[in-house]
Amino acid sequence: MNALESVSIAVDAVRSQKLRSGLTLLSISIGVFAIIAATSIMQTLERAVTSQLADLGENSLLIQRTPSINFGTNWAKMRRRKNITYMQAKEFRERMATTHMITISNENPGFTVKAGEQSTNPDVSLIGIDDMYFTVNAVSVSSGRPITESEVATSRPVAIIGEDVVGSLFPRGNPIGKLITLKNQTFQVIGVLTRKGGIMGQSQDNRVLIPISVFNKYYTWEWDASVDISVKAINKPMLAETMDEATGIMRALRGVKPWEQNNFEIDANDALSGQFSGFSTALLVVAWISGLGALIAAGIGIMNMMLVSVKERTREIGVRKALGARRRWIIRQFLIESITLCQFGGIIGVLGGLTASWGVTELLRASTPTIAYVFPTTTVIFSVVICTVIGLAFGTYPAWRAANLDPIEALRYE
């Protein structure tokens, strides 16, 4: 009996025992699905997050009251930290000696922006910035100009708007020089941000930037808001020294005792990427353990299914052995059948996992056009290999039993 005939027998076994075969194949499919889908989705998200964290710019630090990414259990404690006030941030900027590239910003979501009869949805992010914002961060204007130091100092009502806001308020005209309104305050548009897409369902183009002095005056209580401080080191070798100096100054400004932990967060963009990478790795480990557990359970089902098949085909095996079939031929036949059954389930799991991960990517792409689907080539190959290994491992015993049947007793079996 050649390999094709063994595969054909395996297909017939699936057809004749639909419920038993279906449950077994389902276990294999679930295991492979979990591995494929989790790997592809995590790789896609990790690549997207890493790309967005690049907005901090090279050699940059971000100082905040609470972490940008937090998967720990101390969130409630961190929420009780005192705000980083605007005055603390200004004092910090004056004390820093290793670099002058420091920007202070603050953000509030949920604004409606109006221009004449046009208005946006109430989901625009308003960001107060200073003149160093575009120098420190990887953000630029596609038309117009950035906010200047004098405009921050004199609290001039000027604004830079994102492409989503442009599309809502000025679909047919040039927004530069036009007036927009935010909560009864009028601003003159001086620039348009370069389109950046979005991340994790949040658009990076649905925002308005204004001088932080105006932001503090009209849109937040200065003493009741925590600002973010972005620091850019002069070069990569100076990044560690800049971080050490920034940490020391912030601890002094916030009255942290030598034995106390920091009551603020300071991270480089690669550290933030590392935090997300650690979280995604933990999820992958859980998904892989669950998937492999399902595959092992499926392997036990395969073995039981093959043992039943051996029992049902005892007379057939006896006839074949009486006609001169060798033990290794029978072992090979049943191993091929076992591997074929595993591969059926594996193919279903691979297709399901790829479809699920592609669907998630398309959902994210609706708000993040730059996000790219990651095809998990290595994981697909691993899934094919592991299904083969499971077929061999759990099909060996039934194949051995079939090959060692006594031909006389097998022929008498009813």
- Per-residue confidence at 154, pLDDT binned at 50, 70, 90? very high
Cβ-contact 52, 224 below 8 angstroms: no
Residue 409 has pLDDT above 80, yes or no: no
Number of residues that make up the chain: 414
Cβ-contact 131, 152 below 8 angstroms: yes
CA-to-CA distance for 53 and 138, rounded, in angstroms?
A: 10
Cβ-contact 351, 407 below 8 angstroms: no
Instruction: Give every CB contact of residue 222 below 8 A, 6+ residues apart in sequence.
Output: 85, 86, 87, 216
CA-to-CA distance for 112 and 119, rounded, in angstroms?
A: 7
CA-to-CA distance for 123 and 383, rounded, in angstroms?
A: 43
- Per-residue confidence at 277, pLDDT binned at 50, 70, 90? low
Residue 74 has pLDDT above 70, yes or no: no
> In terms of Cα–Cα distance, which of 118, 131, 132, 212 is closest to 164?
118
Report the range out of 101-110, 324-333, 361-370, 378-387 with the highest average pLDDT: 101-110
> In terms of Cα–Cα distance, which of 221, 228, 260, 46 is closest to 130?
228
Q: What distance lies between CA 88 and its chain's CA centroid?
A: 34
User: Can you give the pLDDT at residue 215?
Assistant: 93
Structure tokens at 28: 């294999």
- Confidence (pTM): 0.63
Of the ranges 191-200, 253-262, 364-373, 387-396, which one carries the lowest mean pLDDT score?
Answer: 364-373
Number of other residues whose CB lies within 10 A of the CB of residue 76:
7
Residue 51 has pLDDT above 70, yes or no: no
Phi-psi category of 116—alpha, beta or left, where left has phi over 0 and alpha has psi -120 to 50?
left
Q: What is the mean pLDDT of residues 346-369?
A: 79
> In terms of Cα–Cα distance, which of 248, 207, 254 is closest to 226?
254
User: Can you give the pLDDT at residue 182?
Assistant: 92
3-state SS class at 230: strand
Of the ranges 62-66, 263-267, 363-367, which one carries the lowest mean pLDDT score?
Answer: 363-367
Percent of the chain with pLDDT over 70: 80
What DSSP string runs through 339-379? Answer: HHHHHHHHHHHHHHHHHHHHHHHHHHHTT-TT------HHH
What DSSP string runs through 159-185? Answer: EEE-HHHHHHH-SSS--TT-EEEETTE
CA-to-CA distance for 404 and 398, rounded, in angstroms?
A: 10
Cβ-contact 135, 230 below 8 angstroms: no
Cβ-contact 301, 344 below 8 angstroms: no
Could you read off the pLDDT of 281-339 as tens digits, one per residue?
777 787 788 778 878 887 887 888 778 777 777 777 777 777 777 777 778 877 887 88
Cβ-contact 187, 176 below 8 angstroms: no
Query: For residues 33 and 76, which has the higher predicted lDDT (pLDDT)?
Result: 33
Residue 199 has pLDDT above 80, yes or no: no
User: Can you give the pLDDT at residue 5?
Assistant: 65
Q: What distance lies between CA 350 and its chain's CA centroid?
A: 20
